[in-house]
Structure 1
Amino acid sequence: MASIFGHALAAYTIGKVSNIQLNPVKLSLLLIFCAVIPDADVIMFNFGYSYMHPLGHRGFTHSILFAFILAFSVRAIFYTKVTYFSKVGIILFFTFFLATLSHSFLDAITNGGRGVGFFIPFENSRYFFSWRPILVSPLGAGNFFSKWGWHVIQNEAFYIGIPAVSVLVMNYIFRRIIK
């Protein structure tokens, strides 16, 4: 998996590009939540579920269906005053959907693990993308603060940080031009 920092930066970038004119702190925190919560599935190891089980790591919580359900739920719970099929309502839903799904996309370009269950519960296969430059992050906070963790941060600064900052700068320039 990519680190929590990489997932959070991707979600933040998606939120800024969406240009939703609502409370930016609330929106950013909810987007970051959506992007990092799929890894809560590691708790399933404690209940005896194997990695490859549909509820195992990179299983259902990394699926497209989960991203849809989470996006719908977050949108419904935290933005009750926004009309569902208004422009803002639709953009909110898709922004939460993309932030959640960004987690799975980043995990699918890491160099470790057993793939991502994009289509669970309909199909239990695990997938990687053919290009896998991101170093897999160590599991557990204690393991993260190590030489391996430092290499992951450096790697993500290049493969996630530079593209995210580039998108943010281009978005800023584009919005200034069209004003």
Structure 2
Amino acid sequence: MPSIFTHAAIPLALWCAADRGRISTPLLVAGVVAAVLPDADVLAFTLHIPYADSFGHRGASHSLLFAALLALLAAAGHRPLRAGAVQAAAFVGISALSHPLLDALTSGGLGVALWWPWSGERLFAPWRPIRVSPFAGQFFSARGLATLLSELRWVWLPLAAAVIGWKLIQPAPVPSRNS
């Protein structure tokens, strides 16, 4: 899995690319939470649930269904997020779905159960350039640093370039006549 920092990169990049005020702070927070929430499944290890189990690490919480459920929850609670129901669902759903897609790009683990409950098969992307992140106890090590450098190269820098490119091609705001 990428680190928790990199899972937050997708909603942060979307927020940066959006017009100022388009994505409220509560909606951004909900997107970041949705992007990191699938890794709460590491609690399965303390419950002695095997990694390869449907409810093990990278199992059900890394599925399209889980992302869709979070999107529906955001749509239902859109008012505190200061967003419309469709905007809240789309932002939170994309943020949640980014998690298993990033995990599928990593160099380790068993893959992600993207199609759970319809299939228990664990999937990887055909191209896996991101180093898998070590767990908490080993994160502040040489391996953790190598992971962060890999994430910088394959996630953060491309996202920053995409946001800057997006901002550059946007038309300049038209000043109002009342100003």
TM-score bracket, shorter-length normalisation: 0.7 to 0.9
Are 1:130 and 2:126 matched, yes or no?
Answer: yes
**AA of the residue aligned to 2:144:** G
Give the number of equivalent residue pairs. 174
CA RMSD after TM alignment = 2.1
8 Å CA contact 1:11, 1:35 repeated in 2: yes
Deviation of 1:174 (Å):
2.7
TM-score by length of 1: 0.88
Larger Rg: 2
CA change 1:154–1:171 in 2 (3 A) is: same
CA change 1:20–1:124 in 2 (3 A) is: farther
Per-residue CA deviation, residues 101-152 of structure 1 (Å, 9 max, x unaligned), is 1000000000000000001111100000100000000112x31111111011
TM-score by length of 2: 0.88
Deviation of 1:69 (Å):
0.1
CA distance in 2: counterparts of 1:27 and 1:167, whole angstroms: 21
Aligned pairs for 1:71-150 within 5 A:
71-79=71-79, 88-140=84-136, 142-150=137-145
In terms of fraction of residues, the more helix-rich structure is: 1
Gaps of 5+ in 1: none
Which aligned segments of 4 or more residues in structure 1 are displaced greater than 6 angstroms? Answer: none
**AA of the residue aligned to 1:107:** D
8 Å CA contact 1:15, 1:27 repeated in 2: no
CA distance in 1: counterparts of 2:124 and 2:133, whole angstroms: 16
Per-residue CA deviation, residues 17-37 of structure 1 (Å, 9 max, x unaligned), is 455845632222111101000
